[in-house]
Amino acid sequence: MTEESTLSQAELARVADLVGAVGTPEFYERVLALLGERIQCERRLVMMYSRYARPEFIFNTSLEADAVDIYLNGLYRLDPLLRLTIEVAAHPVDQRVDDDRDQRLGDL
């Protein structure tokens, strides 16, 4: 039998606060603070990757300014997540869904 995990009233209030922050500049800080507490992690980082521009640090409590500078001055080119972003951008999700459907139909 599994043990159910329930949220306290305070935790529910924080989740409601988080939902209220969707679309605001405070969202990432709030979501990472809540998740960080739940998984006991103090280092938090949100990056925005682009196919045609350098990555941007949206929220960072992990890297010091010197490390950010080194990363943005060229080290980002070796970042496997950036490579993944470029590969995914080259193959939109809706195209892959269509390809999967066509393959399944071909198998019939």
Residue 28 tokens read as 């990432």
| Mean pLDDT for the chain overall | 82
Residues forming a β-bridge with 59: 46
Residue 95 tokens read as 């195209």
Taking the C-alpha atoms of residue 81 and residue 89, their distance in angstroms, rounded to an integer, is 12
Element (H, E) at 95: helix 93-107
Quick: pLDDT tens for 53-101. 899 999 998 999 999 999 999 999 999 988 888 787 666 655 555 555 5
Give the torsion sign (CA, 77, 70, 52, 50): positive
Taking the C-alpha atoms of residue 35 and residue 13, their distance in angstroms, rounded to an integer, is 14
